[in-house]
């Protein structure tokens, strides 16, 4: 498993539009991607679960990647977060 911490820069956090983009991106990979904040976590393929976490601008999330293509997935998802969130 690989993971990284990321501080959300999107001014409204993980709301409908960026959560939808994240779900769409996460479905391109075989590895399981999990976003964690405090005691809450959600699979990156679950739109409502991501939105229910209540992640705001300035919050730090931990992103975990686990699976057969985790090296490629890790690099791509980290880049996605930096460019979209």
Which position has the token pair 């999990």?
34
Residue 33 contacts residue 75 (beta carbons within 8 Å): no
**Are 34 and 41 in contact, with CB atoms under 8 Å apart?**
yes
Counted domains in the chain: 1
Q: What is the C-alpha separation between 16 and 22, in angstroms, rounded?
A: 10
77: domain range?
Answer: 2-84
User: Higher-confidence residue: 35 or 11?
Assistant: 35
Q: Is the pLDDT of residue 16 over 90?
A: no
For residue range 35-82, list pLDDT tens digits in order: 999 999 999 999 999 999 999 999 999 999 999 889 999 999 999 999
CATH number, domain with residue 32: 3.30.1340.10
Residue from 16, 78, 80, 74 nearest 50 by CA: 16
Average pLDDT over residues 14-24: 91
Task: Decide if 15 contacts 23 (C-beta within 8 A).
Answer: no
Q: Active site residue: 15, 32, 56, 78, which one?
A: 15
66 flagged as catalytic: no
């Amino acid at each position: 498993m690989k993971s990284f911490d990321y501080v959300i820069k999107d001014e409204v956090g993980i709301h409908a539009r960026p959560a939808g983009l994240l779900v769409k991106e996460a479905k391109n990979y075989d590895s399981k991607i999990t976003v964690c904040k405090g005691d809450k976590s959600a699979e990156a393929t679950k739109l409502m679960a991501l939105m229910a976490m209540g992640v705001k601008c300035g919050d730090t999330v931990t992103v975990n990647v686990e699976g057969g293509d985790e090296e490629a997935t890790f690099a791509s998802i980290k880049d996605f977060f930096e460019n979209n969130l």
